[in-house]
Chain A
């Protein structure tokens, strides 16, 4: 009898711990079982996983480049976007994770430009990818679909879409699937780079040259991460690294000088401006080379 009571107490204590740990993890996904990916090797190389995960999480939000384009008064165009039906041909987890990042950036673009009528096709394709990658629990398709059909809820739709992306990314990193998280982040970055280079192709400006040339710094941080996975003799990662190294070679030509900034806005009203700035120098020929290489790699990856 005494033993029975102790067992009950132990069960209650376990329940207590379970409840409290539900709040320990930012992704809130403690009950989800890790399912290994068939075609992408799990990470077992020796490096600081926490530091690596921090770096993966630091890359741009899927809406940032779209926000910049809209702020630059670039008109909306569907011609920059990937056909959402294309993901039906993706069979490997590698392609699906990259595709999820690419479509998330396109969804961000549609959200920022409030093009709710076109969003549904992207939501359907993203749902397919998230289900295949066992991430469906973070993608509330029904709610997103409802928000997409009402123009009044565009802010909620944007917030919820980005939040879903963040939760999926965090879940992958917290469950030894950082390789897929790195692919999602790469997909977002590559699609964002593609969007801005396609716009610059039609409307070249110093602002876009600055934005594109500055991505040299971002790729410099992204590539070593991908190389960690390529080291595990995964041929998909090796191929991806090879492609992005080609882009890095082109971006390396861009000169970036850091100088003291004149006319810095005074620190008032809670606005802080950096007192130095990067001067990004990209010639017209270099810009064309970056645009062409980005387009080539982007098209190779989405097909």
Chain B
């Protein structure tokens, strides 16, 4: 009984410490790595989330609101730890261009079933938009983390 108790205590501590460590890596390393990969674009903000789902068909993830300004070209980049990159998708949308039917942009092209690390958005209307980061439908591990980076590419002169 005593041995069982000690094993249980060690197991809980080990799990706790390993989970904590992987969370911390996801927060710091992925954000900084992702933010510095935006080439010449200027980092504006990030959208950091942990994804968790219990069933493959469960919709999971997080959404944020963001004000984007007319006349600006923005870049949205998505980063996830190795092994998770093709399971996660970042989408930009608003009420007239819903997330699941015709979003403004996405890191996943449903037609060609291909992923892109980032996409640019030329904003012609100053307004509030939504960003979501989710597991792809029917894909994804039970747990992952992902970071979206919003950066400033330049003025849209056209």
Chain A residues with CB under 8 A of B156 = 273
In contact, A163 and B46 (Cβ under 8 angstroms)? yes
B-side contacts of A28, CB under 8 Å: 27
Q: Which of B3-29 contact A (CB under 8 A)?
A: 5, 8-9, 12-13, 15-17, 19-20, 23-24, 26-27
> Smallest Cβ distance from A12 to chain B, in angstroms?
5
B24: chain A residues at CB < 8 Å are: 22-23
Find out whether the CB atom of B19 lies under 8 angstroms from the CB atom of A162: no
Known: A9-B8, A163-B46, A263-B158. A207 touches B125 (CB 8 A): no
User: Which residues on the B side are within 8 Å of A19 (C-beta)?
Assistant: 16-17, 19-20
A59 touches B67 (CB 8 A): yes
Is B128 in contact with chain A by the CB < 8 A criterion?
yes
Query: How many Å from the CB of B5 to the closest CB on chain A?
Result: 6
Is B125 a contact partner of A274 (Cβ separation < 8 A)? yes
Tell me whether A215 and B126 are in contact in the complex, defined as CB-CB below 8 angstroms, given that A58-B66, A64-B152, A263-B158 are known contacts: yes
Interface code A59-97, partner B: CB below 8 Å = 1, 0 otherwise? 111011001100110000000000000000000000000
The residue of chain A having its C-beta at the shortest distance from the C-beta of B116 within the complex is A270
Contacting pair B119 A270 (CB below 8 A): yes
Which of A22, A155, A162 has a CB less than 8 Å from the CB of B36? A155
Compute the total of residue contacts between A and B using a CB distance below 8 Å.
150
How far apart sit A277 and B43, CA to CA, in the bound complex (Å)? 25
Q: Which residues of B have CB within 8 Å of A273?
A: 121-122, 124, 156
- Complexed CA–CA distance, A255 and B49 (Å): 39
With both beta carbons as reference points, the residue of chain A lying nearest to B26 in the complex is identified as A23
A124 close to chain B: CB less than 8 A: no
**A45 contacts the other chain (CB 8 A):** no
Q: Across the interface, do A12 and B127 meet the contact criterion of CB distance under 8 Å? A: no
Pick the residue among A55, A68, A159, A211 that contacts B43 (CB under 8 A).
A159
Residues A9 and B5 in contact, CB atoms below 8 Å apart: yes
Nearest neighbor of B73 in chain A, beta-carbon distance: A271
Q: Binary interface profile of B, 66-91, with partner A (CB < 8 Å = 1, else 0)? A: 11011111000000000000000000
What is the CB-to-nearest-CB distance from B13 to chain A, in angstroms, rounded to a whole number?
6
Contacts of B43 in A (CB 8 A): 63, 155, 158-159, 162
CB of A35 within 8 Å of the partner chain: no
Q: How far is the CB of B83 from chain A (nearest CB, A)?
A: 18
Q: Does A280 contact B (CB under 8 A)?
A: yes
The total of chain B residues at the interface (CB under 8 A) is 56
Choice from B42, B70, B120 contacting A210 with Cβ under 8 Å: B70
Once the chains bind, are B155 and A207 in contact (CB under 8 Å)?
yes
Least CB distance, B152 to chain A, in whole angstroms: 4
With both beta carbons as reference points, the residue of chain B lying nearest to A261 in the complex is identified as B124
Known A20-B20, A277-B70; judge A12-B9 contact (CB<8 A).
yes
Given B64, B69, B154, which contacts A64 in the complex, CB threshold below 8 Å? Answer: B69
Pair A211/B71 contact, Cβ less than 8 Å = yes
The answer to whether residues A22 and B23 also contact, given A159-B32, A214-B69, A274-B122 and a CB cut-off of 8 A, is: yes
The verdict on A221 contacting chain B, using a C-beta distance below 8 Å, is yes
CB-contact partner of B35 in A159, A214, A217, under 8 A? A159
Which of B5, B17, B43, B66 has most A Cβ within 10 Å? B43
- Chain A residues contacting B92 (CB-CB under 8 Å) are 272
The answer to whether A166 and B42 have CB atoms under 8 Å apart is: no
Shortest Cβ gap from A97 to chain B (Å) = 19
Partner of B19, one of A20, A211, A265: A20
| Interface hits, A210-228 → B, CB 8 Å | 210-211, 214-215, 217-218, 221
Show 12 A/B contacts (Cβ-Cβ < 8 Å), sorted by A: A16-B13, A20-B16, A23-B19, A57-B65, A59-B67, A60-B69, A71-B155, A211-B69, A211-B71, A273-B122, A277-B124, A278-B125
Q: Name 10 extra pairs, CB < 8 A, besides A58-B128, A61-B44, A158-B43.
A: A20-B16, A20-B19, A22-B20, A23-B23, A58-B64, A63-B42, A211-B71, A214-B71, A217-B127, A221-B67
**Top-10 shortest CB links A-B:** A23-B23, A277-B124, A58-B65, A61-B44, A214-B126, A273-B122, A19-B16, A272-B105, A270-B119, A16-B16
